[in-house]
């Protein structure tokens, strides 16, 4: 008898399952994957913005599923019934499961105090840094400005790694294309990269200045547009890089939830249901809240595989132990900033290291 395993989302941890599908199939699982045809890799977000070919920044999930004998459904997941054990998709389909795993990632945190998802600040056009594939449209927008000889007036909201990456690469791209630009970054904090060492944040600040980006600290955002008055220009575009929160499709699921996502035990099982797993940015590890970063999903993949096997074999499940610290490298267009706990390294070498790590990761799934 087979056990129907439904995987929702092809995030980092599920990529590992896809390439180990034969192990799961031998243990008696039939696998269905519910996911878009492409996975967009955030490690290459800045490269996508800078014009790297789309297929070097993403993976062909349809091909991966076919290669591993997995049924693949592309309609987005929208709801879950835990009593009848069905997932519901946007096109009206529903799929019965015995075991379910959710790896649907994250969306941008609303920057306003009220948590409204569509800010009403002025007349500017809004861009979100997630989903990553939208950065291709942002790049087209910059190309369009170049063709029309229009000045780019942009504000990036958020001084964390993704805001710094976006500001640096928008400025770098504009310079390359010869687009006149006024690109600013604003943050609610008193400094850039609040989780990085002070000296690393100062280095990042100097790089932004070198690229022509002015940044402004201590901007308190609210639902009003007053903060825009603190700028001495009126932006045409606002790029939201205000941090990550669990994907919107998770918000109303009938599972134990908190602000960080689906509450999971160290075994990666939902607190509420032993046959439902959640991993990556959509999950909230009850014992130790995790930062939203791809590396967590990468490390959870092998534990998830082991635990799905254990569930099938009736043996004890393993615990996921998050790393105390992990390497993160911020792509600042022509330099990188590598961060590892209180250690850091800024320069071209760090950027080369990032490109190498990211290429190696994608190669695993091509």
Ligand X SMILES: Cc1cc2nc3c(=O)[nH]c(=O)nc-3n(C[C@H](O)[C@H](O)[C@H](O)COP(=O)(O)OP(=O)(O)OC[C@H]3O[C@@H](n4cnc5c(N)ncnc54)[C@H](O)[C@@H]3O)c2cc1C
Q: Is the Cβ–Cβ distance between 102 and 250 less than 8 Å?
A: yes
Query: Closer to ligand X at the Cβ: 17 or 34?
Result: 34
The answer to whether residues 276 and 269 touch, using CB atoms and an 8 Å cutoff, is: yes
Q: Enumerate residues 316-335 that contact ligand X by CB under 6 A.
A: 328
Which one of residues 19, 25, 36, 62 is an interface residue with ligand X (CB under 6 A)? 36
Nearer to ligand X, 42 or 174 (CB): 42
Q: Minimum distance between the CB of residue 7 and ligand X, rounded to whole angstroms? A: 9
Tokens standing for residue 217: 């600290």
Give the residue, chosen from 7, 11, 101, 111, that forms a contact with ligand X under the rule CB under 6 A: 11
CA pair distance 48, 57, nearest whole angstrom: 6
Q: Is there binding between residue 50 and ligand X (CB under 6 A)? A: no
Q: Looking at 5, 6, 7, 12, which residue binds ligand X (CB under 6 A)?
A: 12
Using CB under 6 A, which residues numbered 149 to 188 contact ligand X? 162, 165
Binding status of residue 299 toward ligand X by CB under 6 A: no
- Contacts with 42 (C-beta within 8 Å, 6 or more apart), sequence order: 130, 132, 294
Angle between helices 198-210 and 161-177 (to 10 degrees): 20
Q: Which residues pair with 263 in a beta bridge?
A: 284
Which segment (10-18, 25-33, 192-200, 306-314) binds ligand X by CB under 6 A? 10-18
* Distance from C-alpha of 33 to C-alpha of 45, rounded to nearest angstrom: 24
- Residue 103 binds ligand X, judged by CB under 6 A: yes
Least separation in angstroms between residue 105's CB and ligand X is: 2
- In this structure, is the dihedral angle defined by the CA atoms of residues 151, 165, 342 and 106, taken in order, positive or negative? positive
Sign of CA dihedral 55, 281, 324, 129: positive
- Candidates 244, 236, 214; CA nearest to 129 is 244
- Would you say 225 or 257 has its CB closer to ligand X? 257
Whole-number minimum distance, CB 6 to ligand X, in Å? Answer: 11
Q: How far apart are CA 307 and CA 313, in angstroms?
A: 10
How many residues touch ligand X under the rule CB under 6 A: the total is 33
| Placement of tokens 């797993």 in the chain | 277
Determine which residue in the list 104, 155, 305, 339 makes contact with ligand X, applying CB under 6 A: 104
Residues 17/305, Cβ–Cβ less than 8 Å:
yes
User: Nearer to ligand X by C-beta: 104 or 179?
Assistant: 104
Among 32, 42, 205, 242, binds ligand X (CB under 6 A): 42
Closest CB to ligand X among residues 151, 364: 364
List of residues contacting ligand X (CB under 6 A): 8-13, 34-36, 39, 42-43, 45, 76-77, 103-106, 129-130, 162, 165, 247, 249, 280-281, 292-295, 297, 328
């Amino acid at each position: 008898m087979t056990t129907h395993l439904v995987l929702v989302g092809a995030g980092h941890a599920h990529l590992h399952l896809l390439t180990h599908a034969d192990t799961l199939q031998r243990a008696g699982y039939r696998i269905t994957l519910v996911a878009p045809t492409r996975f967009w890799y955030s490690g290459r977000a800045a490269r996508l913005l800078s014009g790297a070919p789309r297929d070097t920044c993403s993976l062909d999930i349809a091909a991966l599923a076919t290669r591993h004998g997995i049924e693949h459904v592309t309609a987005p997941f929208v709801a879950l019934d835990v009593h009848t054990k069905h997932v519901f998709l946007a096109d009206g389909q529903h799929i019965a499961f015995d075991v379910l795993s959710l790896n649907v990632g994250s969306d941008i945190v609303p920057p306003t105090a009220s948590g409204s998802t569509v800010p009403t600040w002025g007349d500017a056009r809004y861009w979100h840094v997630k989903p990553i594939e939208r950065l291709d449209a942002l790049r087209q927008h910059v190309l369009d400005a170049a063709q029309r000889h229009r000045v780019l007036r942009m504000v990036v909201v958020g001084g964390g790694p993704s805001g710094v990456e976006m500001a640096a690469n928008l400025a770098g791209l504009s310079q390359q294309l010869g687009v006149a630009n006024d690109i600013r970054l604003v943050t609610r904090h008193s400094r850039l990269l609040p989780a990085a060492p002070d000296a690393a944040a100062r280095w990042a600040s100097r790089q932004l200045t070198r690229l022509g980006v002015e940044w402004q600290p201590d901007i308190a955002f609210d639902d009003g547009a007053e903060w825009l008055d603190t700028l001495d220009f009126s932006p045409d575009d606002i790029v939201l890089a205000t941090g990550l929160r669990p994907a919107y499709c998770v918000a109303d699921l009938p599972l134990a939830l908190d602000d960080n996502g689906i509450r999971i035990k160290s075994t990666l099982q939902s607190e509420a249901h032993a046959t439902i797993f959640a991993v990556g940015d959509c999950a909230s590890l009850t014992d130790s809240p995790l930062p939203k970063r791809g590396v967590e999903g990468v490390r959870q993949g092998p534990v998830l595989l082991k635990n799905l096997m254990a569930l099938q074999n009736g043996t004890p499940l393993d615990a996921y132990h998050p790393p105390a610290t992990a390497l993160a490298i911020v792509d600042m267009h022509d330099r990188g900033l590598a961060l590892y706990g209180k250690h850091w390294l800024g320069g071209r070498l760090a950027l080369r290291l990032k490109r190498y790590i990211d290429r190696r990761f994608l190669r695993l799934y091509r």
